[in-house]
Every structure is written in structure tokens, then in C-alpha cells.
Amino acid sequence: MSLDSFVTLGRSALRVSPLTLGTMTFGEDWGWGTDPAHSTEILAHYLDRGGNSIDTANIYTNGHSEKIIGDYFAGSPSKRDRVVLGTKFFSSLHPGDPNGGGAGRKAMIHQLEDSLRRLQTDYLDIYWLHNWDKYAPIEETLRSLDDLVRSGKVRYIGVSDLPAWKTAEASVLSHFRGWTPVIALQLEYSLLERTIEGEHVPLAQSMDMAIMPWSPLKNGFLSGKYKKAQGAPLDAARAILTGVPSEADYEVIDVLHQIAAEVEASPAAVALAWLRAKPIVSSILVGARRKEQFIENLAALDVQLGNDQVARLDAVSTPTLNFPAHVLETGTPMLGYGGTKINGVQTRVWPMLESSKVRY
């Protein structure tokens, strides 16, 4: 597979690369990250390899990430329409202003105009709600987004990090009001963070929305730098920000290293290949602070895992999901399907029926 093996994003005709360039590291304004020159090198390399999907947010490096991307395309304006450019809104860049952030109409329009100015473009391909604003009625947010699509300033909309129940409400409300639908979800998803499989994944499957995972290497824990035998890398500043792997994390990391050795690839490439094999995943957000690191991550496109290797990674990383996930997976089929095979899946008979006859 290559970056130009495009996939459609959810229930839409929008074609994106299987790996999306994440740009949270563009700019050094937060005390870490990549300077503008090297950020531009990463962006140019991604496009040269055939990639077309770029993701940023108004809050990334206090707006500098958007500015770096905008400066690049201002110097190569013919490339702007060839890419799918998305940014996110919600975060306030104006301390003390109650309408500087959030998902209300006034805040949203203000944030959009600032993002368009920094990106030096007159439209966005995707506008993402970055977080749930519990003070903003969801119908106000959705209607405002629909207005922005109708105005031509936004092409598609997505949501990031919303609870599953709020995402479902937004999707159903948009459908019945005839507003622009949500086509994709940005959610944390990796071998070390699989709890979205309880609610978000079934929701996305049912409503035909794509999932675009962020932090697919779990703060670098799956990058290959960590091994149980050697402990965490000596990076105190980063450890304060991200923490260190737990004992359970190291069990997953150790199996990841074993399989990486088997397929002769880096642990990072294997972790990304595992995600890429998930049918609900359309495009994975991948970023890096160094071009070499980014190139290593792109190698995931060439990694093919065997069924046994996927099963081993699945088994060692199986999450504990919220109620009623366990009941739906185990008890419900026994109660309702009578030991029959449905859609190729063999169910069991409820044990209390196996040992006795129905008497009443």
C-alpha cells in the first residue's frame, strides 16, 4: 500500500490517504516540537510521497501550526486544492473571553475566520469539533456548522473526543433536520487504548462514520523506545507530560517487539499496521518531530501482519470495556439465539436450558 491508495472518509465521497499528516508538533511554541523549516520538510515529504490529508487545530502551538501550513501553501498555491485540509475548533486562544472558545455560534465563526487567516485559504475541507461543549446546545453547534458548509467556507464536518451518546445525538439530529452530516470521528485508538471498542466503534459502524485514530503510538510508548527490560527512556520532561508505561502496557509492548522482529519492521510500523487492519479505521493520524522519524512511521504501509500475529496483539491488548459490553458479547447471544449459527457465528445455548426441560 502507498499514501496514494486513497480511501473514502465515512459516508462521503471525500478521498483521503490511509495515513493523515498530524501537525501538533509543528512549531516550538510549547517548548517542544519542530521548527518551521523542518516542519515544512516533513510536509513536503508527505506530499511528495503522494499523501493528501493534513490535520491541524487552532490550539496547536498556539496557532503556529496553522501558520506554518498556511505559509507553505502560500508559496505553492497550486497545491492547496490538491489536499484535504482540516482543522479543529473549540479551544480558546483568548484568556478571559467567555466567547473566545467553545462550540457556540459566535465562538465558532470567530475561530473559523482566525484559522482561515492563519492557513491563508478561503475554505476548509473538514472542520472538526475538537471537544464537547456542555454549555452549547448541540443543535446550535450543528446548525452553525451547516451554515458554514452552505456558505462554502467548509466542505465536511467531523467530531473529536465526544462521548458516544452525544455523537449519536448529533448524528440523528443532523439526519432528521437535513443538516450536514458528521462523516468521521477523531478518537484516541491504539494497542494501548482500545476502550472506544465498547461504544464508539459500534456507533461508527452503525451510522457509517469513519474513525480517524489519534495517538496511534500512545505517547511514543509503542514507538520502539520502550522495553520492559530497560525501562523508560531518560526524558524527564516528556515523562511529566505523558507518564510512563504501566506493567500491563509493557506486556503489550513486549509482544509488539516480538512481532516486529518476526516481520523485520519497527515496533512503530507494526503498531500502525495493526490499526490499519481495523475495518472501521479509514485514515490514521501520524505525526513526528523529525523527518527521519516520520519516514520510519510511513513504513507501516508496507507491513502485512499474519492472522496469527494480529490475534496475538489482539489477545495481549484486550481492554476491559464498560457495562454492558461484556453482557452483550457473552450473555446476550446465549439468551436470545438458542445455540444457532447467525451470520456465520455459532452461538451457545443458555446453560440452564441445556440441563433441564421447559416445564411451564
Best CA proximity match to 157, nearest among 199, 198, 114, 112: 112
* Alpha-carbon span 290 to 42, nearest angstrom: 8
Distances (CA, A) of 203 to 8, 242, 326: 18, 29, 16
- Helices of type H across 152-186: 164-177
Amino acid at position 222, single letter:
L
For 181, list phi and psi in degrees, rounded to 5.
Answer: -80, 155
Identify the active-site residue in 46, 60, 189, 250: 60
Location of C-alpha cell 437535513:
178
C-alpha cell belonging to residue 72:
507553505
C-alpha cell belonging to residue 54:
493534513
Best CA proximity match to 84, nearest among 241, 251, 210: 210
Coil, helix or strand at residue 251: helix
Per the document, the length of the chain is: 360
- 60 is annotated as an active-site residue: yes
* Alpha-carbon span 87 to 89, nearest angstrom: 7
Best CA proximity match to 209, nearest among 168, 176, 153: 168
Q: Please, which residues have CB within 8 angstroms of residue 283's CB and are 6 or more apart in sequence?
A: 7, 9, 16, 17, 18, 19, 20, 53, 210, 212
Strand 341-342, strand 345-346: pairing: antiparallel
Q: Which residues are catalytic?
A: 60
